Every structure is written in C-alpha cells, then in structure tokens.
Amino acid sequence: MMICENGAAFVDEVGVDGSVADSRWTEYLKTHIDAVRVAMAGGVDVRGYFVWSLLDNFEWARGYEKWFGIVRVDYETMRRTVKASGLWYRDFLAGRASTD
C-alpha cells in the first residue's frame, strides 16, 4: 500500500517575520503517521507515505481560501517559506523528531 496525498487544509497565520506556526498541520501529520505505524505493526504492507501537498496551491474546490502545503507560497511575491510542519516533517524523516 502507498499512502498518497495525505494532508489537510487549514487557514495559516503568518507571523510578522514570515514564519508559519501551523500546529494543526503538525498534529495532523503526527496522528496520521502514528496510524500508519499501528497499521504496519498489525501486518499492513505499507510501502510509502506522501504528504499532500509540498507547496500551497490553487485547489479546485477552495481556490486560494485555505493553504494545503508544508511550504507556504506568498502568491504576490512567489517566495517560499518552509512552515513549522515542514520543519517537523524534515526532522521526523531524519530521525530527529518523533510523533510523541
């Protein structure tokens, strides 16, 4: 099994420094990765897990109303900023963070 496009849409709050402390997204990832871990321990053959989406983007049902990515895209400047969830996911993949 491959878990593809697992993610959520939230309204991001951008700090004055441009950072995005998207704790709801991080908790979403932790919860779902834990569920995958439980499934694997129960014998499910999971071969991959992919976060949806890397970048904020236009979504057919929501337009630009909510943000979907772990990297924020400022649509006026096209500047990309890794959100707190993206930093956590990077650290998780590198073995420096847990789902606890």
57-80 confidence digits (pLDDT tens): 887 887 888 888 999 998 889 999
Percent with pLDDT over 70 in the chain: 100
Tell me whether residue 100 is in a domain.
no
Tell me whether residue 64 is in a domain.
yes
| 20 contacts 12 by C-beta, under 8 angstroms | yes
Domain count, the chain: 1
Tell me whether residue 57 is in a domain.
yes
Q: Give residue 30's pLDDT band: very low, low, confident or very high (50, 70, 90).
A: very high
Tell me whether residue 21 is in a domain.
yes
Tell me whether residue 13 is in a domain.
yes
The domain in which residue 17 lies consists of: 2-93
Tell me whether residue 73 is in a domain.
yes
Tell me whether residue 18 is in a domain.
yes
Distance CA 75, CA 57 (A): 9
28 Cβ contact list (under 8 Å, min separation 6): 7, 8
Tell me whether residue 99 is in a domain.
no
